[in-house]
Amino acid sequence: MENTGNKRDILTAERVTYAYKTRHQIVYAVRDVSYTFKSGTVYAIVGKSGCGKTTLISTLAGLDLPTMGKVIFDGKSTMELDRDIYRRRDVAVIYQNYNLFPLLTVMENVLYPMQLQRRPKKEARALAAETLRSVGLDESYWKRLPAMLSGGEQQRVAIARAIASGQRVILADEPTGNLDGENSDLVMKTFQRLAHEEGYCVIIVTHDPQIADDSDTVIRMDSGKIVS
């Protein structure tokens, strides 16, 4: 895939290990992973269920701190930067289970991160409308609650919310898992445009070979490690 410059190191995992500790055992979900992600690039992370993809995404997103090693954004470790600000301003996460606010309408869900950023209302609303349309959700959806949508529609609201937030790194956990070919293509085209034209760094966890094919770089994980 062609790129129009705008590539620089933006997010680095430096010897990241993440262990879930329960009373009876320790599960090493991510083991000594080092990788540098660049802006202007779409990455696909692939690998068997349970190999550590979601856990890696959570540490990159600053939702969890690595047990060992560091995640570095723009030169600063997530250990030292203010992670609330990091999550509000720099990284957008699209969760495997969408995490929409059930009591907010579709439009309000997409507006929410922009309200936290105190963007002017009119501008926020225009951007929300544009991104919702870009994922195939026209005005007839905007006043509905998430419960009144299909799984794939909810997924697209979560994607629109992440895109409209303007955060330069998008971390997406199976964002097209519930979408048909046409909608999954629409979402992928949006990610490619954001990366290649606007310099976003898009990291997608996926089981879909087509999404992996359409990404610039494929990262394969196995048993908590990056294997290629």
Ligand X SMILES: Nc1ncnc2c1ncn2[C@@H]1O[C@H](COP(=O)(O)OP(=O)(O)OP(=O)(O)O)[C@@H](O)[C@H]1O
- 52 interacts with ligand X by CB under 6 A: yes
Taking the complex as a whole, the smallest distance from the CB of residue 227 to Mg ion amounts, in Å, to: 17
Among 12, 39, 41, 55, binds ligand X (CB under 6 A): 55
Tokens of 48: 């068997």
Taking the complex as a whole, the smallest distance from the CB of residue 165 to Mg ion amounts, in Å, to: 22
- 26 interacts with ligand X by CB under 6 A: no
Which does residue 52 bind out of Mg ion, ligand X, none, counting CB within 5 to 8 angstroms by kind? ligand X
- Considering the complex, state which of residue 39 and residue 55 has its C-beta at the smaller distance from ligand X: 55
Which residues in the 28-47 window bind ligand X by CB under 6 A?
29
Q: Is 68 helix (H, G, I), strand (E, B) or coil?
A: strand
Among 24, 49, 138, 147, binds ligand X (CB under 6 A): 49
Q: To which residue do tokens 């290629």 refer?
A: 228
Q: For residues 228 and 220, give the distance between their C-alpha atoms in angstroms, rounded to a whole number.
A: 5
Position 37, amino acid: F
Position 172, amino acid: A
CB-CB neighbours of 38 under 10 Å: 19
Taking the complex as a whole, the smallest distance from the CB of residue 48 to ligand X amounts, in Å, to: 7
**Bridge partners, 28 (sequence order):** 19
Tokens of 163: 């895109």
